[in-house]
Structure formats: C-alpha cells, structure tokens
Amino acid sequence: MTANELDDFITASARALALPVDPAWYPAIRANLETTLRLAAVVAEFALPDDAEPAPVFRA
Amino acid sequence: MIDLAEASACDIAGAVERGEASVAAVVEAALGRIERCDPALNAFTDVAAERARRRAAALDGRRAKGEKLGPLAGVPFAVKNLFDVAGLATRAGSKINRELPAAARDAPLIERLEAAGAVLIGALNMGEYAYDFTGENVHDGPSRNPHDTGRMTGGSSGGSGAAVAGRLVPLALGSDTNGSIRVPASLCGLFGLKPTYGRLTRARSFPFVTSLDHVGPLGRSAADLAAAYDAMQGPDPEDPVCALRPVEPTMPLLGKKLEGLRIATAGGYFSKGQSLPGRAAIAAVAAALNATAEIEWPHAARARAAAFIITAAEGACLHVDRLRRRPNDYDPAVRDRLIAGAMVPAIAVEQAQKFRRWYRGEVAALFRDVDAVIAPATPCTAPRIGEESFVLDGATMPLRANLGIYTQPISFIGLPVVVVPVPLSPLPIGVQIIAAPWREDVALRIAHALEAMGVVAAPKPPG
C-alpha cells in the first residue's frame, strides 16, 4: 500500500473504531501499521492446513 | 558480618534464620540504600517503608518465639508497578492508571513471597503499560542502568533491573510478554527467570497481552531465582491461564551435575545480528558447557512476526477505550503503536494464532533431541538512554523494536528461559538458557553450574 492508501485506511479505521486521530499522529501510526502489515505478510505466506487449530488460550 | 548490599537473597535468609541479622536491620539497610542510590537510578516509584518496618518487626517477633520464617526469611524485594500492592494505585507505568483506586489486596505472588518470609519494600518503575524494551518512561523518567547511569536498563521491567543490579534489593519481580524480564536482565547484568507460560499466576497484575504475558523474578544468582520461583509456584483459580500443576521444587535439583544433559547452541536466526560482546558471551557459555552442537531453530523470524502481530492487536484491544477517551495522556510513542494495533486485520491475528500452535509442535520436536538451547538475550549491551537506532551486521536498525529480536520467538510459545549474565567489561550482556516446557529446573541447574564455574555472575556496578 502507498502512504496515501495507508492514510486512507487509517482514516476509515479510526472512524469505524471511533478513535480520535490527530493529523500529526499519522506518520507514526502509518510507520507502525506498515511494520505490522509487513510482518503479517510473513506469517500469511506460510501455508497451514485448513484444520490448523489456533491457540487463543495457549497451553505449553 | 554479612554485607547486606552484596548478599544474595539466600545469604540474607540464612543469616536471619541463624540469628546473625535481624529482619529490621536488613530492611533498614535496604531503605538506606534506596534513599542514597535511587535518586541516580530512578528504580522505585513507591517505597513502602512503613509497611516494611511493620512487617520486619512482626517477623523478628515470630523468630524470637522460635518460629521458622521460611526460605526467604527477611529478604527485601520489590515489584514492577503493574503488580497490585495493597494501598497503592497500580499504575503500570502510566499516567492514567495512577488515578485508579488503591488496590485492596496484594498480588498473589507478593503474598506467596511474603508467606516464605520475604518483605515487600516497594514498587518499581517500568515502561508505560509494559509496551517497551528500553526502560524509559515519559511520566516517571527513565530507570537508569547501574553500570552506567547514562545507559538504558532495558524494559519494560527497567526498575526491576536497576533495583537489583544497583544493590537496592536482592530480588525483584517483573513481567515478560516479549522479553521484558530477559532484556533488562541482559542489559543490567542479572539472572532473570521467565517461567513456562501459565506457570506463575498473573492474578492482580495489570495485563498487556494475555496470550503472551508471563511474570517472574530477577536476581543476582540462580539460587535466588530458584528460591523465589519455588515460593511462587502453584495453581491459582484467579488466573485462568495458570496451570493446575502442583509445585515442583527446583532448589533440591540445583546442584545436580550437568552430565547427561544435551545442550546445543541456536544457530541460524540467532547467530545473525549479534554484537561482538554478544558473540563473546555465547562463546564463553558454550565453551563452559561443552555445547558443541548447533541446532537450527525452526521459523524464528516468522514466530517473532506472529508475536508482534498478536501483541499489537491484543494490546490495542486492552486499551481501545482509554485511547478514545484520553489519547493525550499516553506516551505518544505507545499511543501511536496501540492505535496502529487497533487497525490490524482480524485475519492477521488469527493466522498468527494458528501459526503459533503449529510452531509449538515444531519446537517441541526439537526438544526431543536436546534438553536446553543457548541463545543470545539481546543483540547488544546497554544502549545510551534516548538512542533510537543501532548498527547490526552493518545495517542501521530501529532500536526499540529490535532489542527483543532474540527473546520474542521464545516467549511466543511460552518456553522457560533463564538469562545468565556474562560479566564482560565495560558492560555485561546476557545469554538465554532455554528449556522444554515445565523444565525450569534444567535451565536453573545450568545457570547455577555456570555460576559455580565463574563464567557468569552479576557484576558489581562501579562506585
């Protein structure tokens, strides 16, 4: 996503979540979101079977 | 006469039980050190002097009647300020939470340590809401590294690192979601135990990422960690994640020889990006343990990525209402991370949780062939306070996110880890001893043996 597209996403998400976002906060939020989405792609590219169980309550 | 500043928790407990020191004298000595040294270290946010004195008098009275006080008799300790302390608001490093009503009751881990004879001395500085690897705090100021007060303690349990390394107390509690016990232990030159996920109750502590939150002790010896850990184990219905396992004491196993243990060094991901001190520390520990085998830890980078995503999203979920109402009362850096976390797609979080279970299986298979794995704890020694980037393998990297690169893939699946301090000059650095789930005893035994060999130790700060 481009910086403008990310900013549009931030604006829309902030509205959907009723989060106040000052325009001055956009660069830092964008940078954090960019990192997280990049890392999400790293996880998503690794194919797991359909029956893979998530671990929301994890037991070691 | 015992040197109360330098004495370990076990030494203090022994001296108290033998009648060589009163609890009152131990407590007054700790309070005196805090008064003299804390202005330079900024470790404490609350000193519970009157409470500690009352308790010391009660313990001395019990001892005078011939009662045994317990394995931590008279040991002063302090807790990261996200643990409930009766009479204090649990600030969790924040401005907002200090307006909460005072806690009615101590966290169970405080109750369990005090039941073993220890004495709570106060609450400790931390990174805001534990979303931090530096030990800096915009509201309370940074905790400072006793080995060089211009440098970071590491976080988020930064006050815990400063208080124990600075000899204010021999023992402190911290929490570790992605590395917040292990990073300060490494940067401050301490032993730190992050137990298996679910081993120690987190009840009455302010959460951060419940999928990943752990709590545990920092100290200046492996035996002190074992003594504290043994006192704190056991089920607790107040924490739904806390395991139903009975107490499995580690102290009696501490001196057991290491023969027969299969110990390897983590290669691949864990051998990249290390500083020269980090490499030297790993080499020293591996040589002492004759750990010649190197194993490839599976998918560590992806595990770190998944831990990062779950942290962002769960942290945001915890804070979303406060972010709506009081965004300007957060540290701006924490606020912006949390707001970004609120916008992470649900699919990314679910994929991360699915990957987590799969990865757990892969790592469990690895532990069929080894009993413990050695890995770096931090990529560098303590950076200067305020530093924002560092150079690793020739590349400039943002510091805050990357201090936990070696700790995140491990806590992601809740494996127990003891960080051991390698006393390099001018600054110490830690090494992770990672064991299979519920085998804290193995990691503590190895740490204890390394200490006996003189390879690891919590170095005394200058001055």
Question: How far from B213 is each of B269, B277, B310, B390, CA to CA, in Å?
Answer: 24, 29, 11, 27
Q: Determine, for residues B320 and A19 on separate chains, whether the beta-carbon distance falls below 8 Å.
A: yes
Partner-chain residue, chosen from A28, A43, A58, that has the shortest CB–CB distance to B309 = A43
Determine the pLDDT at residue A53.
Answer: 85
Q: Which residues pair with B152 in a beta bridge?
A: B144
- Angstroms from B413 CA to nearest CA on chain A: 7
Beta-bridged to residue B214, according to DSSP, are B176
A52 vs B40: which has the higher pLDDT: B40
Q: Residue A60: which pLDDT band, with cuts at 50, 70 and 90?
A: low
A28–B contact, CB cutoff 8 A = yes
Between CA B28 and CA B48 the distance in angstroms is 12
Q: List strand residue ranges (DSSP E) for B280-332, in order.
A: 294-295
Q: How far apart are CA B301 and CA B409, in angstroms?
A: 7
Q: Which amino acid is at A2?
A: T
Taking chain B (463 residues) in consecutive chunks of 10 residues, what is each chunk's mean pLDDT? Answer: 94 97 98 98 98 98 97 98 98 98 98 98 98 97 98 98 98 98 98 98 98 98 98 96 96 96 97 92 98 96 98 98 98 97 97 95 96 97 94 84 95 98 98 98 98 98 89
Whether B80 sits among the annotated catalytic residues: the reply is yes
Per-residue pLDDT of A9-36, as tens digits, reads 999 999 999 999 999 999 999 999 999 9
Instruction: Name the token pair of B25.
Output: 């004298």
Measuring CA to CA, which residue among B458, B460, B459 is closest to residue B192? B458
Tell me whether A55 touches chain B (CB under 8 Å). yes
| Res B309: pLDDT | 98
Beta-carbon separation of B354 and A54 below 8 A: yes
Q: State the smallest CA–CA distance between residue A10 and chain B in angstroms.
A: 7
- Number of inter-chain CB pairs under 8 A, A vs B: 126
- Asked if B339 contacts A21 with a C-beta cutoff of 8 angstroms, the reply is yes
Q: What pLDDT is stored for residue B361 in this prediction?
A: 94
Within B385-439, strands assigned E span 389-392, 395-398, 417-422, 429-435
Q: Which residues contact B452 (CB under 8 A, 6 or more apart)?
A: none
- Say what the pLDDT of residue B401 is: 83
Q: What are phi and psi of B186, to 5 degrees?
A: -65, -50
Closest CA to B14 of B173, B170, B190: B170
Q: Is the dihedral of CA B63, B54, B27, B225 positive or negative?
A: positive
Spot the catalytic one: B156, B160, B186, B205. B156
- Yes or no: say if B266 and B298 are a contact pair by the CB < 8 Å rule: no
B59-66 CB contacts, 8 Å cutoff, 24+ apart: B59/B16, B59/B23, B59/B117, B59/B119, B60/B22, B60/B23, B60/B24, B63/B16, B63/B17, B63/B19, B63/B23
Strand pairing class (B294-295; B171-176):
unpaired
Q: What is the pLDDT of residue B1?
A: 77
| B389-392 and B395-398 beta bridge pairing | antiparallel
Which phi-psi region, left, alpha or beta, contains residue B93 (left: φ > 0; alpha: ψ -120 to 50)?
left
CB contact under 8 A, B305 and A39: yes
pLDDT the model gives residue B283:
98
Cis peptide before B186 (omega within 30 of 0): no
Confidence (pLDDT) at B393: 77
Measured distance CA(B428)–CA(B227) in Å, rounded: 24
Residues of A in contact with B350 (CB under 8 A): 54
- What is the reported pLDDT for A57? 58
